Amino acid sequence: MTEHNPFQHFADWFAAAERSEPRDANAMTLATVAADGTPSARIVLLKGYDPQGFVFYTNTQSRKGGELAANPRAALLFYWKSLGRQIRIEGIAEPVTTAEADAYFATRPRLARLGAWASDQSRVLPARGELESRLAALEQRYPGEDIPRPPHWSGYRVVPARFEFWQEAPFRLHDRTIYERAGAGWATCKLYP
């Protein structure tokens, strides 16, 4: 682990989680805030990361998309119970490029791509049959693999300003390491458990 590089620290812990977690080591809690200050959190899947940030994809007209449009501040939380570890990341969510969104969308299973068109995510669904009807109509409209990305479906990159790496320890004497953006680099410190 490189002590002053939170991205390498993340990569080391994420690799360990991919080896040990039984399912979805890339599951993370995404917290956003509504315009009135009401917090909201949900699980999304990390689809990529690099020194520019942490990427996930969604319907931009969903609740989370609306909240990020009004206030781009976001927090991510990874919790890997099998390792006794969690990582908190705070930063600003920015849209990914059109090319990034198109490239990732093309890798999704066919029904997931059709579902991105069929679902009015976060809106009231009067009956499950309505979603199924929409999906059936889209299967006829796009019978093959060539399914364009909907204009309301894209990704966000959370550009971190702060990390906290938490390692469980006996008697609740946990180890907490903080990285905070400091110019072009990172300042680091420890916190009491």
Per-residue pLDDT tens digits for 58-115: 999 999 999 999 999 999 999 999 999 999 999 999 999 999 999 999 999 999 999 9
Which of the residues 88, 108, 110, 172 is marked catalytic?
172
Residue 48 lies in a domain: yes
Residue 138 lies in a domain: no
Residue 124 lies in a domain: no
CATH number of the domain within which 51 lies: 2.30.110.10
Question: Cα(120)–Cα(127) distance, rounded to whole angstroms?
Answer: 13
Per-residue pLDDT tens digits for 124-179: 999 999 999 999 999 999 999 999 999 999 999 999 999 999 999 999 999 999 99
Four-point Cα dihedral 178, 85, 93, 152, nearest 10: 180
Residue 131 lies in a domain: no
Q: Who contacts 79 (Cβ-Cβ below 8 Å, separation ≥6)?
A: 29, 85, 86
Query: Can 162 be counted among the known catalytic residues?
Result: no
pLDDT band at 2 (very low <50, low <70, confident <90, very high): very low
Percent of residues, the chain, with pLDDT higher than 70: 98
| Mean pLDDT, rounded, for 33-54 | 96
How far CA 55 is from CA of 26, 30, 93, 97, 155, in Å, comes to 11, 11, 9, 11, 7
Confidence (pLDDT) at 128:
95
Q: How many helices (H) and strands (E) does the chain have?
A: 5, 9
In the chain, how many domains are there?
1
| H helices present in the chain, as ranges | 6-20, 63-70, 98-107, 110-118, 128-141
pTM: predicted TM-score of the whole model, two decimal places: 0.93
Structural domain for 174, as ranges:
6-109+151-191
Residue 145 lies in a domain: no
Tell me if residue 144 falls in helix, strand or coil. coil
Residue 171 lies in a domain: yes
Confidence (pLDDT) at 3:
54
Residue 132 lies in a domain: no
The Cβ of residue 33 has, within 10 Å, a number of other Cβ atoms equal to 17
Q: Who contacts 40 (Cβ-Cβ below 8 Å, separation ≥6)?
A: 31, 32, 33, 34, 63, 64, 67
Calculate ∠ Cα 60-64-66, nearest 5°. 60
Residue 177 lies in a domain: yes
